[in-house]
A and B are shown apart, each in its own frame.
Chain A
Amino acid sequence: MDVMKKVPVREQDPQIRATNFEEVCLGYNQEEAMCEASRCINCRNAQCVKGCPVAIDIPGFISKVKAGEIEEAYQIISHASALPAVCGRVCPQETQCEGKCIRGIKGEPISIGKLERFVADWARENGIVPEGCKEKKGKKVAVIGSGPAGLTCAGDLAKMGYDVTIFEALHEPGGVLVYGIPEFRLPKKAVVAKEIENVKALGVKIETNVVIGKSVTIDQLIEEEGFEAVFIGSGAGLPKFMGIPGENSNGVFSANEYLTRSNLMKSFDPESPTPIMRGKKVAVVGGGNVAMDAARTALRLGAEVHIVYRRSEEELPARVEEVHHAKEEGIIFNLLTNPTEILADEKGWVTGMKCIRMELGEPDESGRRRPVVIPDSEFTMDLDCVIMSLGTSPNPLISSTTEGLETNKWKCIVADEANGKTTKEGVYAGGDAVTGAATVILAMGAGKAAAKGIDEYLSGK
């Protein structure tokens, strides 16, 4: 083997996977994993750990994989992370652990994500569960939202001995892992549900169908239901639209709606009672990971799919791996293109989208070159479906019903990055509800920090 190169991971053939919802990446087997693990030089001052928002002991678990002690490797990971099978699949490792890997200076970094995934999958298949806590503290903590931030915070608090209840607004726990990320990237029953079972095995209770701010408020949880601290991990739920003419035509969806129908409601399965539009020619507006997910979903539902993005390929916010997979599957990229109007027939159904071509000008405040309109470059795309994937903003349901909880101008909850502390005593927050839309692992990091913050607060009480 070439020690400078990663052990390649097996994937479903692009042409076959474009027609199914089975997982794209097949993962390592034990032999491949041990081989990949042997590339790790076990740095004394491990940079990879610094790149991990939840600070997994990466050289530690990899050395166990190298020795074939997979169960031990799992216990090392689960000490820091409640969702290793998820993170091994959806973390942007290239900018985190793997981005800092010393091996990566001259060759390819260690495939840390794929190793994490292998360990977590092995543990699941072999019925290994994380070690829980023996001593109970007898104090109740409420966690709002069962996405990555909430699950991590709840898992950590349960390990410390707190009595934790998660409140979930939807009918199924998992948050964005269930409604947002598609089956072909993150299998729901096999992976997500199992990781949630592991969190429950630590003693965490999950109550679904509770919309905090509607069914009950945070103040009522504290005053009437005996919770001594609350963690808000409610995510960034409200979809943005462009505000261009024709956007309410039939056949225009937010990526949130399209993905929720397919992922949470399982509409990709023709047997599901929840319908989804199977377009013939679909444009997905936006260039983030969610846009890639929506595009690849529409493709699997039988459409010709175009990504319409106003900047160039270099600025695409999506992970390189996602863009690469999308291209392999046949998604067409219309870059430096911005929609100006959605066209519809007399019954209100989408027939096309007027667009204008862009070029890159001077850098803006984000440091990326600003897209500028090229005059007289309008053209029309014939389409029957448009999916808007322009990002999301936090849902005001909680902030507007909680006395003393401050938000900033983007309606994000104000919280201390180090410990999740908000402006309201006993209330902590983290994840997209605080930062706006970000990644699974950053939300997990925030959930972890808040669990520590809550423990400090309740220990001093």
Chain B
Amino acid sequence: MYEIVKAKELTTNIYLCDVVAPRVAKYCEPGQFVIVRMGEDGERIPLTICDYDREAGLVTIVFQSVGASTMKMAHLKEGDRFHDVVGPLGRPSDLVSEDPETLKKKKILFVAGGVGAAPVYPQVKWLHERGIAADVIVGSKTKDLLILEKEMEAVAGNLYVTTDDGSYGRSGMVTQVIKDLVAEGHQYDVCIAIGPMIMMKFVCLMTKDLNIPTVVSLNPIMVDGTGMCGACRVTVGGKVKFACVDGPEFDGHQVNFDEAMRRQQMYKTEEGRAILKYQEGETHHGGCGNCE
């Protein structure tokens, strides 16, 4: 059992937990993820590692409650336990294996969309700890959904916040900010974009035009997370890859996003039913005609 020592709601529907998981905390690196389970029969839920404290044996995870399982997770509080936490899974971000001196010469741009700020944060922090200042664009739908702004500000070079509806920071999508920054004369050697699949797709279309190599972190459906099931297969450069062991980071210009987005819809009907059942509990007996 893995104890939660801190739990808080960052903003509407987005939550943060610090969990005791010494084996994960000891060797995890930015870019990797964990799989958690709530209870004895719980679903396996992959979540990116947002931060870690090796000495205290803690990992920080951030999640958005979107399905029945994550809705239940939203109620977790300090002192509660996860039934299972396994990791670190996936390959660490390529940054970690690069020579810091080479990295210092590079202009790096991070693009985070929505809850994607969580996996971006440890990478920016990792660079910051090595004296490398990366520019970061954080986008969210609206001001209320923005997360980790202060934390990001503390480790980023320049931080550009934008909201789709213009309620805070700049106004418009992250792609608009990229365009503006480049028009203002900023040059970038590499872009790392993490967020909803649709955002990563459009960032990649833009950076391809702008000739900026771009890394994305994919979050397809997974079961075991160790390469065993192949549920997470994605097509990258015409080849089939398993995001859990070959990724989750890939060359964004090579990813078949349309296929990846289709595959994410695989269990939408089942998930919808599970949410209805969770929200309506015993009162929901299928009479609505929308479910069996």
Contacts and interface: CB of A to CB of B under 8 A. Distances in A.
A380 interface: no
A167 to B, nearest CB: 10
Interface residues of A, number: 37
A260 B229 contact: yes
B213 interface: no
A274 B43 contact: yes
Contacts of B129: none
A461 interface: no
Interface in B169-211: none
B262 A347 contact: yes
Contact of A257 (B85, B229, B271): B229
Contacts of A215: 23-24, 27, 86-88
A239 B230 CA distance: 7
A404 B228 CA distance: 24
Contacts of A250: 262-263, 265-266
A211 B226 contact: yes
Interface of A: 169-171, 179, 208-211, 214-216, 237-239, 241, 243, 247-248, 250, 253-254, 256-257, 260-261, 265-266, 271-275, 277, 347-348, 395, 397
A286 to B, nearest CB: 14
B23 A216 contact: yes
Given A215-B88, A238-B228, A260-B224, 14 more contacts: A208-B84, A209-B86, A210-B23, A211-B87, A214-B27, A214-B89, A237-B226, A238-B227, A248-B234, A248-B235, A256-B230, A265-B44, A347-B265, A395-B227
A248 B86 contact: no
Contact of B41 (A216, A237, A238, A273): A273
A33 B87 CA distance: 47
10 contacts: A171-B83, A211-B226, A214-B88, A216-B27, A237-B227, A250-B266, A265-B44, A266-B41, A273-B69, A273-B274
B227 A253 contact: no
B68 interface: yes
B99 to A, nearest CB: 22
B235 to A, nearest CB: 6
B282 interface: no
Interface in B221-263: 223-224, 226-231, 233-235, 240, 242, 245, 259, 262-263
B270 interface: yes
Give the bracket for the number of chain B residues in contact with chain A.
35 or more
Does more than half of chain A's interface fall in helix, strand or loop, or is it mixed? loop
Nearest to B2: A209
Contacts, number: 114
Interface string B36-72: 0100011110000000000000000000000011000
Contacts of A277: 266-267
Interface of B: 23-24, 26-27, 37, 41-44, 68-69, 83-89, 223-224, 226-231, 233-235, 240, 242, 245, 259, 262-263, 265-267, 270-271, 274
A284 B274 CA distance: 28
Nearest to A254: B230
B281 to A, nearest CB: 13
A177 B69 CA distance: 26
Contact of A273 (B68, B223, B265): B68
A273 B41 CA distance: 8
A194 B240 CA distance: 39
Contacts of B84: 171, 208-209
Contacts of A275: 267, 270-271, 274
B88 A260 contact: no
B226 A395 contact: yes
Contact of B226 (A253, A257, A261, A397): A397
A275 B273 CA distance: 10
B226 A248 contact: no
Contact of B228 (A171, A243, A348, A395): A395
B234 to A, nearest CB: 8
A316 B138 CA distance: 56
Contacts of A253: 230-231
Contacts of A248: 233-235, 240, 259, 263
A266 B234 CA distance: 25
A79 B262 CA distance: 53
Contacts of B37: 171
Contacts of B259: 248, 348
Contacts of B23: 209-210, 215-216
Nearest to A237: B228
Nearest to A236: B228
A263 B77 CA distance: 31
B245 A348 contact: no
Contacts of A274: 43-44, 223
A273 B45 CA distance: 11
Contacts of B270: 275
Contacts of A273: 41-43, 68-69, 274
Contacts of A171: 37, 44, 83-84, 86
B288 to A, nearest CB: 17
Contacts of B267: 275, 277
Nearest to A276: B270
A256 B232 CA distance: 13
